[in-house]
Amino acid sequence: MMNGSEELIVRKIREGTVIDHIPGGQALNVLKILGVSGEEDHTIAIMINAESRKLGKKDIVKIEGRELAPSEVDRIAIIAPKATINTIKNYRVTKKMKVKLPGEIRGLLRCTNPNCISNKPREPVIPSFTVASRTPTLLVCKYCGTYISHDEVVAQYTLAS
């Protein structure tokens, strides 16, 4: 939760989502992953490199008037595996979720190997990855064994958005 000094910088939101405990410097990438470009109507507050006992530096994102779908929560886990998602209603936290990086990630990313069967458009394959490392994120394609790094994950969402 925020402490008093942070509240001086970023005010509370009335309805929406607060994503806390994002690794320092990753807030903009979290917004990219969520497909938030800033052109929407939501009021968005971003705090980058706030002091954190757990993470050293952390980022916080507050999105007014937007709740997250479970698939969006999973996507955040790929780049911010310790994030907490707070749903806010009438200025109060009504739901608090810790993201959890599943053992296998299905369908959220593409393999970076163009010669992987999961990139062949006419084959019924859902790209799937196992998690080789959580911090920093390192995924392994279940089909061809190619490594997908944190930066490659972010790049995919950037290109997609």
Partner 1 sequence: MFKGRDVISILDFTRGELEKIFRVALKMERIGKREKPLLKDRVLAAAFFEPSTRTRLSFEAAMHRLGGSVIGFSDAEGTSLAKGENLADTVKMLDSYADVIVMRHRVEGAAKLAAEIAEVPVINAGDGSKHHPTQAMIDLYTIWRELGRIDGLHIALTGDLRYGRAAASILYALTKFKPKRVSLISPASLKPRKEMGDFLRGSKLKFFEGENLEEIIQDLDVLYVTRIQKERFPDPAEYEKVKGSYRIAPELLSRAKKTTIVLHPLPKIDEIDLQVDGTKFAKYFQQAAYGVPVRMALLALLLGGVR
Q: Nearer to partner 1 by C-beta: 2 or 131?
A: 131
Alpha carbon 137 to its chain's center: 12
Determine which residue in the list 113, 131, 152, 155 makes contact with partner 1, applying CB under 8 A.
113
Site string for partner 1, 61-100 (x = CB under 8 A): ----------------------------------------
Q: Nearer to partner 1 by C-beta: 73 or 111?
A: 111
Q: Is 146 in the site for partner 1 (CB under 8 A)?
A: yes
Instruction: Please count the residues of this chain forming the interface with partner 1, following the rule CB under 8 A.
Output: 17
Q: Are 18 and 86 in contact, with CB atoms under 8 Å apart?
A: yes
Determine which residue in the list 141, 148, 153, 154 makes contact with partner 1, applying CB under 8 A.
141
Positions in the binding site for partner 1 (CB under 8 A):
113, 115-118, 120, 122-125, 141-147
